[in-house]
């Protein structure tokens, strides 16, 4: 396995990038750290008996940042009786796990305030939105009693739209044509003996049998279309065998249209279906985690001013309600974004600051568009999933829940890097106008006329976050490794200190690692 190459590519795809990798040069190779593989023991949460049986006392912990990593640390340590306090600069907990509902207000770094006017029941997961089956996020949903439902991350009836190609094509059609021609070419090459050096007679026979089925090319080994492409009118009653879609295009046209670059997204280890979402909004996790950690432990609007570590404790000063406060604890877990933590005055040393500052904050944006009717279901028969485009909106997501409801919310863009910077530099109304104009190209005028309201996030312009996520430096793992160790009594945690940057999963895992290390230290000291 070419780990570097494979993983790096997947890493970029993992953030939802499909094709157009040009946007991502800045972040390429975030996994070029080529870290050594370390076996991770199963996580054992701290437990009350850990202290009762050892005669030790639970300690006081101050946690910087009330995102998923911070809340998880408070929750897990709280299981053993640690006295945790979480300082969160924003007015709500959860960090990038932000679900926008009617009434949600956000003011960005440029002073633009948006207040969502979504209908009751409508929500927009502005941050994380999907959870793979194997991710620890699902374990927390189970443990915390947060119901889950499928998130549609791939849908054969969603569209591919490349501006130069004209009309959009359904994913199933592109897939049938690509697999058909690939199978035809390989079958013909095999028939002609081109692979005789590589294949035994048995291999050859099995390969051909596979290709006939895989590409639907029949015994003649020619792709001339397939019912898999879909129909203009599907087979019906009586003798109505349906109206096939026009096509297929020629082999040259299929490859020239570049629809193929959207296909591998759904193979990714972190993106392959099935995927899931909490019922009612991603922030159900935040709500449950906060309740489980203890609502009174989370101080909102509390901005960290200074961290001073000493041999025996840590003092954190912070500003809340216009007043400065200080809290002294046995340990600190710092989960602020690294580029922001780097700016917090502290006495942990210049190498820590440099390591934090070495991370690359990355831009991403998302817009929620509420429509008065679900035309994508009623007219287009698209029930969830994403349309992939080469436009600057990158993709359009159809909702994975409340199917057949009267209204619905699309994600009108989810994009990264330069496109996100461009949209983020616009005032919110201009973002909406631009996103809608792009969507009209795919979906026609109803994309504008049926729109009710919009809400957009530009994470890089969001106070106290200032990035969608942050990558470690690609060419030097020294800083990354430094921050995996405590700086005295200060531990670091966040998705940025995991192999799942930009995933909640990474924040959960990193918090668990910090909790494990800290608890082990307390138990053995």
Site for its own copies in 116-175 (CB under 8 A): 133-135, 138, 141-142, 147-150, 152, 154-157, 172, 175
Q: Compare residues 25 and 134 and give the one whose CB is closer to its own copies.
A: 134
Q: Are strands 60-64 and 83-87 parallel, antiparallel or unpaired?
A: parallel
Q: Are strands 123-125 and 99-101 parallel, antiparallel or unpaired?
A: antiparallel
Of residues 361 through 380, those in contact with its own copies by CB under 8 A are 378
Q: Compare residues 197 and 322 and give the one whose CB is closer to its own copies.
A: 197
For the sheet with 364-371, list strands across it.
Answer: 169-170, 159-161, 385-389, 395-398, 408-416, 364-371, 451-458
Q: Compare residues 135 and 465 and give the one whose CB is closer to its own copies.
A: 135
- What is the sign, positive or negative, of the torsion defined by CA atoms of 276, 423, 89, 100? negative
Among residues 56, 101, 112, 188, which is the contact residue for its own copies, using CB under 8 A?
Answer: 188
Answer yes or no whether residue 25 interacts with its own copies by CB under 8 A: no
Q: Compare residues 54 and 520 and give the one whose CB is closer to its own copies.
A: 520
Calculate the alpha carbon distances from 442 to 171, 408, 435, 496 in Å: 14, 18, 11, 36
Answer yes or no whether residue 23 interacts with its own copies by CB under 8 A: no
What is the distance of C-alpha 2 from the center of its chain? 24
Answer yes or no whether residue 500 interacts with its own copies by CB under 8 A: yes
Q: Compare residues 196 and 430 and give the one whose CB is closer to its own copies.
A: 196
Contact between 454 and 396 (Cβ < 8 Å): no
Cβ 457 to its own copies shortest distance, Å: 26
Contact between 301 and 295 (Cβ < 8 Å): no
Q: Compare residues 25 and 231 and give the one whose CB is closer to its own copies.
A: 231
What DSSP element (H or E) covers 22? Answer: none
Phi first, then psi: give them for residue 116, nearest 5 degrees: -70, 135
Cβ 363 to its own copies shortest distance, Å: 24
Measured N-to-C along each axis, helices 284-293 and 136-144 cross at an angle, to the nearest 10 degrees, of 60
Among residues 113, 200, 296, 525, which is the contact residue for its own copies, using CB under 8 A?
Answer: 200
Tell me the window of 95-103, 290-298, 381-389, 417-425 that interacts with its own copies (CB under 8 A): 381-389
Q: Compare residues 38 and 167 and give the one whose CB is closer to its own copies.
A: 38
Contact between 209 and 190 (Cβ < 8 Å): no
Answer yes or no whether residue 474 interacts with its own copies by CB under 8 A: no
What is the DSSP annotation of 459-474? GGGSTTT-SSEEEPPS
Answer yes or no whether residue 203 interacts with its own copies by CB under 8 A: yes
Contact between 306 and 344 (Cβ < 8 Å): yes
What is the distance of C-alpha 162 from the center of its chain? 23
Cβ 291 to its own copies shortest distance, Å: 18
Among residues 284, 299, 366, 512, which is the contact residue for its own copies, using CB under 8 A?
Answer: 512
Cβ 377 to its own copies shortest distance, Å: 8
What is the distance of C-alpha 328 from the center of its chain? 35
Cα 172-148-79 angle, rounded to 5 deg: 145
Q: Compare residues 140 and 455 and give the one whose CB is closer to its own copies.
A: 140
Among residues 383, 441, 474, 521, which is the contact residue for its own copies, using CB under 8 A?
Answer: 383
Answer yes or no whether residue 179 interacts with its own copies by CB under 8 A: yes
Cα 368-20-499 angle, rounded to 5 deg: 75
In the 8-state DSSP scheme, what is residue 94?
B
Q: Which of 377, 396, 380 is nearest to 436 (CA)?
A: 396
Among residues 213, 324, 379, 476, which is the contact residue for its own copies, using CB under 8 A?
Answer: 213
Among residues 75, 123, 276, 414, which is the contact residue for its own copies, using CB under 8 A?
Answer: 276
Q: Compare residues 108 and 184 and give the one whose CB is closer to its own copies.
A: 184
- The rounded distance, in Å, linking the Cα atoms of 374 and 223 is 36
Tell me the window of 266-274, 304-312, 387-395, 417-425 that interacts with its own copies (CB under 8 A): 266-274
Among residues 26, 28, 109, 185, which is the contact residue for its own copies, using CB under 8 A?
Answer: 185
Answer yes or no whether residue 403 interacts with its own copies by CB under 8 A: yes
Of residues 223 through 252, those in contact with its own copies by CB under 8 A are 224-231, 233-244, 251-252
Among residues 58, 176, 298, 356, which is the contact residue for its own copies, using CB under 8 A?
Answer: 176
Q: Which of 365, 374, 367, 362 is nearest to 429 (CA)?
A: 367
Answer yes or no whether residue 269 interacts with its own copies by CB under 8 A: yes
Tell me the window of 60-68, 118-126, 193-201, 289-297 that interacts with its own copies (CB under 8 A): 193-201
- The rounded distance, in Å, linking the Cα atoms of 162 and 341 is 41
Cβ 238 to its own copies shortest distance, Å: 5
Tell me the window of 103-111, 349-357, 362-370, 474-482 that interacts with its own copies (CB under 8 A): 474-482
Answer yes or no whether residue 198 interacts with its own copies by CB under 8 A: yes
- The rounded distance, in Å, linking the Cα atoms of 208 and 202 is 10
Calculate the alpha carbon distances from 335 to 291, 496, 524 in Å: 19, 9, 24
Cβ 160 to its own copies shortest distance, Å: 14
Q: Which of 10, 84, 11 is nearest to 330 (CA)?
A: 84
Of residues 57 through 86, those in contact with its own copies by CB under 8 A are none
């Amino acid at each position: 396995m070419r780990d570097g190459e494979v993983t790096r590519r997947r890493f970029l795809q993992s953030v939802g990038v499909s094709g157009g990798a040009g946007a991502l040069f800045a972040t390429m190779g975030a996994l070029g750290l080529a870290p050594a593989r370390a076996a991770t023991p199963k996580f054992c949460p701290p437990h009350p008996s850990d202290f009762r049986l050892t005669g030790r006392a639970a300690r006081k912990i101050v946690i910087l940042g009330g995102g998923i990593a911070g809340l998880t640390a408070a929750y897990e340590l709280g299981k053993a009786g640690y006295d945790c306090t979480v300082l969160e600069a924003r007015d709500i907990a959860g960090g990038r796990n932000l679900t926008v509902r009617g009434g949600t207000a956000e003011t960005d770094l440029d002073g633009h305030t948006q207040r969502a006017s979504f209908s009751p029941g409508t929500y927009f997961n502005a941050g994380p939105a999907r959870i793979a089956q194997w991710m620890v996020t699902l374990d927390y949903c189970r443990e915390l009693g947060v119901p889950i439902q499928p998130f549609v991350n791939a849908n054969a009836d969603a569209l591919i739209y490349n501006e130069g190609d004209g009309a959009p094509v359904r994913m199933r059609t592109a897939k049938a044509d690509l697999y058909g021609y690939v199978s035809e070419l390989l079958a013909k090459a095999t028939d002609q003996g081109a692979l005789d050096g590589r294949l035994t007679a048995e291999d050859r026979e099995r390969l051909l049998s596979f290709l006939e089925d895989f590409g639907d090319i029949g015994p003649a080994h020619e792709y001339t279309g397939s019912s898999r492409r879909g129909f203009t009118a599907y087979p019906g009653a009586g003798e109505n065998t349906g109206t096939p879609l026009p096509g297929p295009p020629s082999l040259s046209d299929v490859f020239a249209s570049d629809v193929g670059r959207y296909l591998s997204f759904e193979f990714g280890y972190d993106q392959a279906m099935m995927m899931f979402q909490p019922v009612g909004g991603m922030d159900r996790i935040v709500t449950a985690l906060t309740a489980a950690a203890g609502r009174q432990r989370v101080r909102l609007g509390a901005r960290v001013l200074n961290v001073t570590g000493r041999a025996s404790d840590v003092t954190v000063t912070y500003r809340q309600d216009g007043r400065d406060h200080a809290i002294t604890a046995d340990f600190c877990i710092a989960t602020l974004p690294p580029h922001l933590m780097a700016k917090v005055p502290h006495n942990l040393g210049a190498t820590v600051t440099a390591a934090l500052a070495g991370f690359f904050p990355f831009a991403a944006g998302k817009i929620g568009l509420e429509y008065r009717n679900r035309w994508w279901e009623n007219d287009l028969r698209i029930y969830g999933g994403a349309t992939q485009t080469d436009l600057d909106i990158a993709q359009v997501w159809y909702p994975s829940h409340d199917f057949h409801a009267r209204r619905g919310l699309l994600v009108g863009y989810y994009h990264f890097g330069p496109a996100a910077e461009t949209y983020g530099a616009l005032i919110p109304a201009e973002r909406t106008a631009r996103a809608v104009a792009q969507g009209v190209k795919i979906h026609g005028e109803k994309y504008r006329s049926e729109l009710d309201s919009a809400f957009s996030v530009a994470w890089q312009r969001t106070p106290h976050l200032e990035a969608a996520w942050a990558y470690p430096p690609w060419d030097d793992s020294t800083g990354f490794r430094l921050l995996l160790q405590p700086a005295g009594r200060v531990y670091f945690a966040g998705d940025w200190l995991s192999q799942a940057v930009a995933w909640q999963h990474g924040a959960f895992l990193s918090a668990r690692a910090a909790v494990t290390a800290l608890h082990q230290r307390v138990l053995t000291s």
